[in-house]
Structure 1
Amino acid sequence: MTSPLSTADLQAAFRERFGSDPDGVWAAPGRVNLIGEHTDYNEGFVLPFAIGMSARVAVSLRTDRTVRVVSTFGNHGVVSTDLNKLSAADAKGWTKYPLGVVWAFTEAGVDVPGFDLLLDSDVPLGAGLSSSHAIECAVATALNDLCAADLPVERLVLLTQRAENFFVGAPTGIMDQSASLRGREGAAVFLDCRDQHAELVPLALAENGLAILVIDTKVSHSHSTGGYASRRASCELGAEVMGVKALRDLTLDDLAEAAGLLDEETFRRVRHVVTEDARVLDTVETLRDKGPADIGALLDASHASMRDDFEISCAELDLAVETARGAGAIGARMTGGGFGGAAIALIPVEQEAPVRAAVADAFRAAGYKEPDIFTVTPAEGARRVI
């Protein structure tokens, strides 16, 4: 994993590239979704939490209509864009995320001037920890301050979603940016994706002798590719056939009828979403009433549903989950959009070393890339650093 620059080093790097001090530094974290996968765009429930890894942007406003962006990773130089000619077709690589936010802000009526921006991030790319949304939320938080837009968090969520959907071209929901913008230390964000109602749910890991281990399989994925879009299309078809606005409106009792109306594949997609919504609600209730040590079976059931009904797992994710369980995890599941990325395992802290070793050995024996394995804790959401 990449080590983040300190704030002072980020400011120094900005001065080196742009010849002046930044107006400020803003940060937004990645996220781990504890449970609730592919339920967000079905107007359902999710339970993510912000993590300590974040994207950080040093930004300084300009007096013209030019945006210059550069990152601390890769070998790319400064990329310059004329805001009068801003186009999704011309945005390349990571620059489409900040430029997409500019586009969404401008479309919403915010007067965005030119600016210089330096990005540093330690959120692993392609791991299902929402590295792209971390960038977008950091930029959105910075522009909200610098442009004195005073947009509430609900608007920032929708604007970053719009950037993602219509500029980046990824048909994502609102979970990732909601976690990044709303996250708090020691808590998960229980989000109703229909109306953005959000509540903080205690996720007292350390107090209960627990940790969440992330296993980055190094199998890269992308939301803008076909697998994600086809799953969303299946969900929309299922809702249409069932005569509801979104799959959120179906209950477990409706699944028998759905089985008779839908083709076999569409039914399995629908069954995953309906049962996953129920698992999120059960997890929230369990965390409030009993604590995190009792949610293992719900995590396990979520992974089985994603593997068998939604078919978004892969051999590496399945191996990580199964091995972690066998080495002492309380529960484990893949997290994120699927087709690669990361798995999470809820473990007693004393089992961290055995689980790490077992997973690394299993990947080595299978001939897979060496995974990155690290712990995460619920952290603060997007904010101004200086």
Structure 2
Amino acid sequence: MDGAARTVARDFTALYGAPPEGVWAAPGRVNLIGEYTDFNEGFVMPLALPHTVVAAVRRRTDGVLRLHSADIPGPVAELDATALEPRSGGGWAAYPAGVLWALARAGHTAVLGGADLHLASTVPTGAGLSSSAALEVVTAVALDELHGLGLDRPALARCAQRAENDFVGVPCGIMDQMASAVCVPGHALHLDCRDLTVRQIPFDLTAHGLTLLVVDTRVQHALGDGAYAERRAGCEEGARQLGVPHLRDLPYHALPHALARLDDERLRRYVRHVVSDDHRVARVVALLASGTHGDLRAIGPVLTEGHASLRDDLRISCPELDLVVSAATAAGALGARMTGGGFGGSAVVLTQAADAERIAAAVHDAFADAAFTAPRVFGARPSAGARRLRPAS
């Protein structure tokens, strides 16, 4: 790359008075299928977006951590790297600070010397596209390389997840951090969230005459307000009552019997969603792995089925997300569903490439008719995970 690397490096030098030691990027993601399954040690299938968080970084030796964002107004945040406290606030700066804290807690104390970071992002915030995970992963990858820690990508993703869980206080699973860390261009990531086994599944939509649209509803998506944590706790309670370590351990064929054993209607809904969504991941993997044109198109109804489960069983959709799905499918899309943590954010729409512009227009028209804020629509291109950038000469 990259003009972005050159710009961020130049701005770092102007801000801190010396050039960075390197520039790194980590992407946001969309999740094709498998929602709320990661913290149940189940299966997911995300893909990385071309939208990234770019970080210019330089080590320090005085224990000071300085953080600055090109996208968020405000001065440089200056923190004591040796005295970071979980859940002490700090807004966006808590995410990279939490990564340094998590690395140090894992025994990598070299990071306590501190660092200077300057960041710029093209990942939409609040859109359910994992801007926070991209911020965490780019910090982890940069610090790992600068300090020669020698951590593999799953280990870095675990540290990034710990930063969000234990330092920031959001009980997310591992999917977002793994997607940002390990995705490869032209593929969707089939991830086993128990052992972090990775399978890269070819996902060449262009070759099949298809497009995957991302529709950002502009409804702000936040996971720290308790609703996400309530679903996680409900899933864990459902697993406890059914006598399995995690809902991933409940076979799909055993689901009807398991549901009959639960007295709590809310827990039944959560269990039904998670077990059936793990099954949907397996169905999509089988269709994509077959590589035929017809089978690739056949994932569309599975996506729409997944949305109904998220809407009716998990109850994490919203009117705007439901409208994207109904308007897109009515206009001829092959399938659509909300993606990410819900309560706002984005949806994905699978469509014939020739129909993409018309379907996007139909969604815009439906939002205008409903007096909703106009959505942002763009095509998703399966892109690279975290990497070091080379500034353009």
Give your verdict on TM over 0.5. yes
Give how far 1:5 is off: 6.6
1:164-179 to structure 2, matched below 5 A, reads: 164-179=164-179
Give how far 1:186 is off: 0.5
- Cα deviation, 1:264-296, whole Å, max 9, x if unaligned, reads 111011000000000000100000113522201
> Can you give the 5+ residue segments of structure 1 that lack an aligned partner in the other structure?
none
Q: For this pair of structures, how many residues does the alignment match?
A: 383
Which position in structure 2 is the counterpart of 1:27?
25
Q: How far apart, in 1, do the equivalents of 2:159 and 2:67 lie?
A: 20
Which position in structure 1 is the counterpart of 2:38?
40
Q: Which amino acid is the alignment partner of residue 223 of structure 1?
A: L
Q: Which amino acid is the alignment partner of residue 379 of structure 1?
A: S
Which position in structure 1 is the counterpart of 2:288?
287
Q: Is the 8 A contact 2:259 2:271 kept in 1?
A: no
Say which is worse superposed, 255-264 or 105-114, in terms of deviation: 255-264
1:291-306 to structure 2, matched below 5 A, reads: 291-306=295-310
SS in 2 for 1:287: helix
1:158-307 to structure 2, matched below 5 A, reads: 158-262=158-262, 263-289=264-290, 290=292, 291-307=295-311
SS in 2 for 1:88: coil
TM-score with structure 2 length normalisation?
A: 0.96
Which position in structure 1 is the counterpart of 2:358?
354
SS in 1 for 2:314: coil
Q: Is the 8 A contact 2:183 2:383 kept in 1?
A: yes
Q: Which amino acid is the alignment partner of residue 130 of structure 1?
A: S
Which position in structure 2 is the counterpart of 1:318?
322
Q: How far apart, in 1, do the equivalents of 2:3 and 2:104 lie?
A: 30
Give how far 1:365 is off: 1.0
Q: How far apart, in 1, do the equivalents of 2:103 and 2:352 lie?
A: 44
- Cα deviation, 1:8-30, whole Å, max 9, x if unaligned, reads 11111111111111100000000
Which position in structure 2 is the counterpart of 1:119?
119
SS in 2 for 1:212: strand
Give how far 1:257 is off: 2.1
Q: How far apart, in 2, do the equivalents of 1:385 and 1:217 lie?
A: 31
Q: How far apart, in 1, do the equivalents of 2:296 and 2:166 lie?
A: 37
Q: Is the 8 A contact 1:5 1:120 kept in 2?
A: no
Q: How far apart, in 2, do the equivalents of 1:91 and 1:140 lie?
A: 20
- Cα deviation, 1:318-369, whole Å, max 9, x if unaligned, reads 0011111111211100000111100000111111111111111111111111
SS in 2 for 1:337: coil
Identical aligned pairs, as a percentage? 48
Q: How far apart, in 2, do the equivalents of 1:59 and 1:197 lie?
A: 30
Give how far 1:89 is off: 4.0
Q: Which amino acid is the alignment partner of residue 14 of structure 1?
A: F
Q: Is the 8 A contact 1:66 1:83 kept in 2?
A: yes
Q: How far apart, in 1, do the equivalents of 2:69 and 2:349 lie?
A: 32
Q: Is the 8 A contact 1:91 1:99 kept in 2?
A: no
> Can you give the 5+ residue segments of structure 2 that lack an aligned partner in the other structure?
none
TM-score with structure 1 length normalisation?
A: 0.97
Q: How far apart, in 2, do the equivalents of 1:306 and 1:40 lie?
A: 15
Give how far 1:247 is off: 0.2
Q: How far apart, in 2, do the equivalents of 1:373 and 1:302 lie?
A: 21
Q: How far apart, in 1, do the equivalents of 2:273 and 2:149 lie?
A: 40
Q: How far apart, in 2, do the equivalents of 1:5 and 1:167 lie?
A: 33
Say which is worse superposed, 102-111 or 245-254, in terms of deviation: 245-254
